Amino acid sequence: MVDEEKLQELKKRIQAAKVTNTPQQKTKKESGAGFGFKISTEIIAALVIGVGIGLIVDKYLGTKPFGLIIFFIFGALAGFLNVYRVMRRIEKQ
Amino acid sequence: MAAKGEKHSPLEQFEIIPFTRTEIGGYDISFTNSSLSMIITVAVITLFLTLTVNARSLVPTRMQLISELMYNFVAQLLTDTVGDNGKKYFPFVFSLFMFVLIGNMVGMVPYQFTFTSHIIVTFALASVVFIGVTILGFVNHGIKFFTFFYIPGVPFYMHPLLIPIEIISYLSRPISLSVRLFANMLAGHTLLKVFAGFVVAMPFFTGALPLVFIVALTGLEILIAFLQAYVFAILTCLYINDAYHLH
């Protein structure tokens, strides 16, 4: 019983230590440029993949230029989705 | 100076200089300054980690403390993002984190090549993460891993639109992961060299101004070097987490 109490107390102390220690890491504010960079790479990466798939589809299915157009749009939308996810992750922190 | 054939491009530092010329099966596997830089990085990591924790003292020395801090940092990162499942991936994430971190730091030493400023290096690292995580997803979930691209609770007519978007978003991961690290290092080192050029080019003592700026910028670069290694590690953790928990 005493051990149980001790354990509980230790748990509380660990929790308290965690609370006081973690903000140090997470309040590390990013610079505006770094933030913009993160967002732009997400959009660009998705667009690169979208355009790449579009070009491949066009090449092998002979659907020039519709594959490129469609997958470019998909890529752009995927880029927005990526940005949305990044923003949500930042907000969580 | 230019007449002597000296180059003063700020991009000169990224040039790959082969020390040997080896070719096997049509592939160029020359030992270059990039390879040397990587070997130095691995040697620094190995020596530092083994030598500092060699004493295994209960009350750590300063150097041992640094090693333990790094260990704890990555271990904490894994438990925070992946949970208990993450323990298995500690060696992988720790190696990756240390390789990128020390690689960036070795690159901060003057005259030293920065291998993380080459997209092919970062892309190879990101590909390892991406392929590994995809295999992990299939091992854990089998064919059900494909439901990762299926978002529940969306009207059925939206799926033809959303599934390609999800797949593209998934495929774009290695690119965004590699481009972020590569571009940060490339931009930072180029900026340093451009300002270094100003120091020489500006008349009289006004060159001291950019020199002061370089000192500040070097500090910032070291911060970015750490931050990018951290981002690389945390994103790897998040991807591993995704391979365990679909949505």
Task: For this complex, say whether ipTM is above 0.85.
Answer: no
Nearest to A38 among B161, B172, B180 (CB): B180
Confidence (pLDDT) at B2: 42
Q: Residues near A89 by Cβ (< 8 Å), separated by ≥ 6? A: B238
Domain that holds residue A10: 2-92
Mutate to test the interface with B, among A35, A49, A90 (most CBs of B within 10 A): A49
Interatomic CA distance for residues B100 and B92, integer angstroms:
12
Alpha carbon of B20: minimum distance to chain A alpha carbons (Å): 35
Interatomic CA distance for residues B167 and A76, integer angstroms:
13
Q: What does the pLDDT average to over B115-142?
A: 92
How many independent structural domains does chain A possess? 1
Mutate to test the interface with A, among B168, B185, B223 (most CBs of A within 10 A): B168
- Chain A hits for B175, CB-CB cut-off 8 Å, are 44-45, 48-49
Q: Residues near B13 by Cβ (< 8 Å), separated by ≥ 6? A: B113, B114, B189, B193
Mutate to test the interface with A, among B81, B158, B165 (most CBs of A within 10 A): B165
pLDDT digits (tens, 9 = 90+) for A13-69: 888 877 766 554 444 556 677 788 888 889 999 999 999 999 999 999 988 889 899
Nearest residue on chain B to A84, judged by CA atoms?
B169
pLDDT digits (tens, 9 = 90+) for B195-215: 888 888 888 888 888 899 999
Whether B227 contacts chain A with CB within 8 A? yes
- Chain B hits for A46, CB-CB cut-off 8 Å, are 168-169, 172, 176
Of A22-36, B86-100, B116-130, B134-148, the least confident: A22-36
Please name which of A77, A70, B75 lies closest in space to residue B67, comparing C-alpha atoms. B75
The answer to whether the Cα torsion of B182, B71, A89, B140 is positive or negative is: positive
